[in-house]
Chain A
Amino acid sequence: MQFIARAINALNEFVGRYSSYLILPLIGVVSYEVLMRYGFNAPTAWAFEMTVFIYGVHYMLALAYAHKHDGHVAIDIFESRLPKTPRTLLRIIANLVLFIPTIGLLTVWSFIYFNTAWGMSERASSSWAPLIYPYKFIMAVGFLLLLLQGLAKLIEDIRSLRSSAES
Chain B
Amino acid sequence: MSSPDLPQTEPGSRDVAIVGMSCLFAGARDLDAYWHNIISKVDSVSNPPAGEWDPEIFYDPESKSNDRLYCKRGGYIGDIADFRPTDFGIMPLAVDGGEPDQWLALRVAHEALADAGYEQRPKEHVRTEVVLGKGTYVNRGNLTAGYHSIVVENLVQVIRTLHPEYTDAEAAEIKKELKACLPPFSADTAPALIGNIIAGRIANRLDFMGPNFTVDAACASALLAVEIGVRDLLSGKYDLVLAGGANVSVPMPTMSLFCQLGALSRKERIRPFDKAADGTILGEGLGMVVLKRRKDAERDGDRIYALIKGVGVASDGRAVHVMAPRVEGEELALRRAYEMAEISPDTVGLIEAHGTATPIGDVIEVQALSRVFGGRKGALPTCALGSVKSMIGHTMPAAGIAGLIKTALALYHRVLPPTLNCEEPNPALNLQQTPFYVNTEMRPWIHSGPTPRRAGVNSFGFGGINAHAVLEEYPVEKVAARSHQIHWETEVCIIEAESRQQLIDQCDRLHAFVAGVTSASLKDLAYTLNGGLQELPFRLAVVAASLEDLGTKLKTAAGRLSDPRCTQIKDNGGVYFFEQPLNGKLAFLFPGEGAQYQNMLLDLCIHFPEVRHCFDLTDLAQMHGKRDILPSERIFPRSILSPDERKHVEDALWQINGAVEGVLTGNWAMWTLLSHLEIRPDVIAGHSTGDYSAMLASRIIDLPNEAYLETILELNRAHERLSAQMLVPEATLIAVAADSATVMAVATAAGGELHLAMDNCPHQAVLVSSKEAAERVIEQLRSRGLIYEILPFDRPYHTPMFSAYAYGAGEEFFAGLPIAAPRIETYSCTTADRYPTEVEAIRNLYVDHWIRPVLFTETVRKMYDDGVRLFVEAGPRGNLTAFVSDILRGQPHLAMPSNLSRRTGVTQINHLVGILAAQGVAMNTDYLYARRSPKKIEWREAPSKATSAAPPAMRLNIGLPLLKVAPRPERARMAAPAANNGEASVRIASNGSSQTAPARPMALPATNGNMGADAPHRRAAAAAASARTESAFGQPMSEIRAATSSAAGVMQQYLASMQTFLDVETQVMEAFLRRAGGTPSVPQNHALPMLGTIASLVPNQELTAQRTLSIGEDLFLLDHALGRPVSLTDPHLRSMMVVPLTMGMEILAEAAVALLPGHLLVGMKDVKAHHWIQVDDTPVPLHISARRVSPSASEVAVQVRNAGDSKLLLEGVMVLGTSYSPGPRPSLAPLDEERPSALASADLYDGRLMFHGPCFQGVAAVDRSGRNGVDGRLRTLPANGLFRSNRSPKFVIDPVQLDAAGQLVGFWAAEHLERGFVVFPYHLERLHVFGPPSVAGDMLQCRVRLQLQGTETITSDIDLIASDGTVHMRLEGWADRRFDPPKQLHAGWTRPLEATISEPWTTPISAIEPSGVFECVRLDTTVASGTGLWKELWPSLVLTQNERRVFRERHVSEARQLEWLSGRTVAKDAVRLFVRSHYGLTLLPADIEIAQDEHGKPTATGLWTEQIPHVPDLSISHSGKLAAAVVCDGSKQRIGIDVQMIRELTADFEDIVLTSDEKQLLASVPQGMRQQWLLRMWCTKEAVSKALGRGLIEGPSSVGIIGLDVRTGIVYSRPEGKLAAVTSGAALREMPCYTAVEGACVVAIAVTERGTL
- Whether chain B is bound by chain A comes out as no
Measured CB to CB, the residues of B under 8 A from A are: none
